[in-house]
Chains A and B, each alone.
Chain A
Amino acid sequence: MVNTLLAVLGDSAVPSLALLHSGQYDNLVFFYTKENEGKASMFSQFSKFAFPEINVEINEIPSINDPASIVEYAKKFCSEYKNDFSIFATAGAKQTILPFVAQAPKSTMVSLLHSPLRLIVLENNLEKEYLLNGIELNQILATRGWNFNGMLRKGNQQFDNVQPRFDAHTGRLSFIGTSWLRRANREDEIHSLSKKEKKEVQNEDQILTGELLQLSEDFGKNGANYSIIGALRSPNRAVLPPFIRHEMPVDEEE
């Protein structure tokens, strides 16, 4: 019997990649809305290249702004597949994945948990866990068209001051920016900068914040941890969105 899993390609990169790594399914059926067309296209290219042995089907479903049509699509799909599939409940907006759950409430539910990164399969009130190994940072980045070779790049775009990290044990992806004052080793001078320097620092740190925000568009604001390390002047610190953390590391004394 073919073992099929339905999943939605959402904003976060790790969940869909984790499914490719899980080795639990013969057939992975992904859905995406046209709003996520770009991400789906890159994921499709990546999966063909990196996992040619896995049968991956990628289908477009109606727009997120046409939710009634998504329900119709789910009804038709579930009827064609005779509800013979599991559903991955971790990725995608609720209005894209829940119509499938509502149509096939007896399906096996699959979810992804971190620390450690593992797949949870809930079938007949029985929970099975599968630890996930082998996911690498550059694979995650590649699913969104990025790569890291000492510097984060996507096409002609490159971010010099943001470091990506992936903790394979916890399954957490992080992007860490370093503030201008920290890079210049001038954090002690935060209150004594000249007017010209203040402007330059402000501009540079605004660029850094903008880079983290661009990454959050590609990897989802909940799909990674975003932080800036080092002293930030108040106008920039005050406007940091809630999902970008500001950290002042305590440097070890020599």
Chain B
Amino acid sequence: MTETIQTLYTIFNRNDPTPTANALRNIGFENAVVLILGQEDFNPRHQENLARFKTWLTGSPRYHVEEEEEEYRWPDMFWKQNWEWEGIDSEKVSFLTAEGITADLVNLISSEDTVDVTSGTKIQVATLIQELHNNHCNPNIVLQTQNNQTLNISTGNLIPQMTPLNFRERVWLSSGYIVDYEVKGDPKIGEIWIGTRKKLSNEVVFPKQGEISKKLGKNINLEHGYWLEEAVTHMMSTWSTISETYLGPRLIRPSFSRAAGAAFFTVVAKVNQDKRGRGPLTEYKESILKIDEHEDFEEKQHQAFEFLLKTEFNRKQIRFIHQCLHSVEFDSVAFDASSGKVYVVECKAMTNIKPGVLGRIFAITKLVFPTTGVPMLAYGGTTSTTSNGVYQIAWPELATEEILSQLPKTYKLPKSTKKEKTQKQRSTENNQIVNEVKKRHATLENTRPLLNIIRADPRDWLQFVNLVTRNGIKAKGLWKKMEKWGNSSKLFELDPERRGSVDWISFRDAKKD
């Protein structure tokens, strides 16, 4: 149990309010004072971050946007209670604005208080620590660590999280979106995906359809990529460090009028696609398309808004519209509570990945989680690596979190999935494969895929040797062998002087991939 302390002082973090919110959640207090330093220099983004933080305290983003008309607020019909979180008692939290760390401010603090220094510039905080020391004032000086514990920076004492911020709160604080999701990752289902045999079809790794469908008790359709999103969400939920995973979370703007605009656009597209007329909004098809015909954009928006607000939809229709309200959608996300990282995963059941796709994954990850977001692509290929700054992982490798420290790595389809084997053989097959590959001597043929990896993702000689050995190839005498291969194949040249850098190898045709 964390003791309740007298007063908690914390500085508002203008670039991302998450650490300030973390402090209020993690540290027990009777009163909290949030210091807003240098507000006169806040830019519009900082001001919006402050407004969002104040909304977070209330526990609901429903009234965050002050719409021009009251009727433009979120109607009960479309608002979900589970989009909210537990608020903070507003009477216990006060705000104090100051230009910087002033003597008056330092004099407010007593030795019984706690000062959270997670936010504010480092020089502001260093000055604060020095001034407190000069005043012979010894409060607990703490900060929120990246893995969401409270660290006393003088003693090194760590206090575990009290009530960690959930995924929904984190998204709200860092980007201002409301999160809607329907399926949470389940480690038991993840184990089923992990234990199901895999097969290669046109070089894409699939689960055995009959087997996975039988085990899950529902038909898994491999024709649609959706199975991969499901597999990834449940598989990553088995990782020891992952506390939450979600399938296809949708991020919705806090303004209902803007969300409604996005929804209507999607509704029109879906109604147009629904050639058989079996969709949930079929009865309104005519009115929807009539609204869409308006050429005046503002008028169209107004009509669309009125339609969504004044129509009496049934539950099925409301659920359908909920699925259209978002501006951003992720295939899967996983929150790592030990490091504070959020893995944003795009799923592609294919092997051919364009660099543009990787750029897009990187962008949407950093859009929502500028600091803690980690972009990841789970795909149907067999090579796991880091490409263009994005983890690109062969999906079966997501069975274990260790894959991220073993990159690059080539996924080997266990032999037992090609031919039926006994359970015992299956359980030892991974070890057998490792033993088999350990015996391999380096040849140009078996090293070439690894050379392709470092060509796209350069690394120094030692890192390359690690890569080679991790892939079951002996590295003894590798340099000499590679010199010979380079001379004979003319594919690359080695520079022994530059083994400490990534320039130890230069590919002769490496102008641009």
A and B are interacting partners = yes
Contact with A along B323-340 (1 / 0, CB 8 A): 000011000000000110
B156→A109 contact, CB < 8 A: no
- B398 in the interface (beta carbon within 8 A): no
Judging by beta carbons under 8 Å apart, are A209 and B363 in contact? yes
- Residues in B with CB closer than 8 Å to A99 are 153-154, 156
Contact of B362 (CB < 8 Å), options: A41, A67, A87, A210: A210
Q: Beyond A65-B146, A71-B151, A156-B507, is A240–B363 a contact (Cβ under 8 Å)?
A: yes
Q: Does B439 contact A (CB under 8 A)?
A: no
Confirm or deny: B357 has a beta carbon within 8 angstroms of a beta carbon on chain A.
yes
* Chain A residues positioned under 8 Å from B122 (CB to CB): 89-90, 92, 94, 97-98, 111
B146 & A155 in contact (Cβ 8 Å cutoff): no
B155 interface residue (CB < 8 Å to A): yes
Give the distance in Å from the alpha carbon of A67 to the alpha carbon of B143 in the complex: 10
Query: When A64-B146, A71-B151, A102-B129 are in contact, do A210 and B502 touch as well, CB less than 8 Å?
Result: no
B residues near A41, Cβ cutoff 8 Å: 460, 500
The size bracket of the interface on B is 35 or more
CB-CB < 8 A to A145: which residues of B?
A: 501-502
Q: Are B151 and A95 in contact (CB under 8 A)?
A: yes
CB-contact partner of A68 in B126, B158, B366, under 8 A: B158
Q: Mark B284-300, 1 if CB is under 8 A from A, else 0.
A: 00000000000000000
The answer to whether A109 touches B123 (Cβ under 8 A) is: yes
A105-146 CB mask vs B (1 if < 8 Å, else 0) is: 110010100000000001000000000000000000000010
B126 touches A109 (CB 8 A): yes
Do the beta carbons of B143 and A95 come within 8 Å of each other?
yes
Knowing A103-B154, A145-B501, A241-B366, the reply to whether A67 touches B359 (Cβ < 8 A) is: no
**Complex Cα gap A127–B151 (Å):** 31
The winner among B118, B122, B503 for most chain A CB atoms within 10 A is: B122
Q: CB-defined interface of A187-225 with B at 8 Å, one 1/0 digit per residue?
A: 000000000000000111111111101101100011000
In the complex, chain B residues whose CB is within 8 Å of the CB of A90: 122-123
Set B370, B455, B458: member contacting A243, Cβ < 8 A: B370
Query: Does A239 reach chain B (CB closer than 8 Å)?
Result: yes
Q: Is B477 an interface residue (CB 8 A)?
A: no
| A156 in contact with B455 (CB, 8 Å) | yes
Contacts of B45 in A (CB 8 A): 242
**From residue B262, how far is it (CB to closest CB) to chain A in Å?**
11
- Is there a chain A Cβ closer than 8 Å to B301's Cβ? no
* CB pair B156 A71 closer than 8 Å: yes
Most buried by A among B362, B390, B500: B362
Interfacial chain B residues near A182, Cβ < 8 Å: none
Tell yes or no: A157 within 8 A of B by CB. yes
Partner pick for A101 among B126, B327, B370, B501, CB 8 A cutoff: B126
Residue numbers in A under 8 Å from B151 (CB-CB): 67-68, 71, 95
A82 to B179, CA, bound (A): 51
Would A160 and B143 count as touching, CB distance under 8 A?
A: no
Q: Is the pair A213, B363 in contact by a Cβ cutoff of 8 Å?
A: yes
Residues on the B chain within 8 Å of A69, using CB: 156
Tell me which residues across on chain B come within 8 A of A243, comparing CB atoms: 366, 370
Contact B354 A156 (CB under 8 A): no
- Option from A111, A155, A158, A240 in Cβ contact (under 8 Å) with B512: A158
Q: Mark B446-458, 1 if CB is under 8 A from A, else 0.
A: 0000000001101
Interface centre among B145, B155, B359, B390 (most CB of A within 10 A): B359
B residues neighboring A (CB under 8 Å): 15, 45, 117-118, 122-123, 125-127, 129-130, 133, 141, 143, 145-147, 149, 151-158, 327-328, 338-339, 354-360, 362-364, 366-367, 370-371, 388-390, 455-456, 458, 460, 500-503, 506-507, 510, 512
Q: 6 closest Cβ contacts across the A-B interface?
A: A210-B359, A155-B458, A71-B156, A203-B356, A241-B366, A206-B356
Further contacts, 20 of them, CB under 8 A, given A94-B118, A154-B502: A41-B460, A64-B146, A68-B151, A71-B154, A72-B156, A89-B126, A98-B129, A101-B130, A101-B153, A109-B127, A156-B455, A203-B355, A206-B359, A209-B359, A209-B360, A210-B360, A210-B389, A210-B390, A214-B362, A217-B389
18 pairs, CB–CB < 8 Å, chain A vs chain B: A65-B145, A65-B147, A67-B145, A68-B158, A72-B156, A95-B153, A97-B122, A101-B126, A145-B502, A156-B506, A158-B512, A206-B356, A206-B359, A206-B360, A210-B362, A211-B359, A221-B366, A239-B367
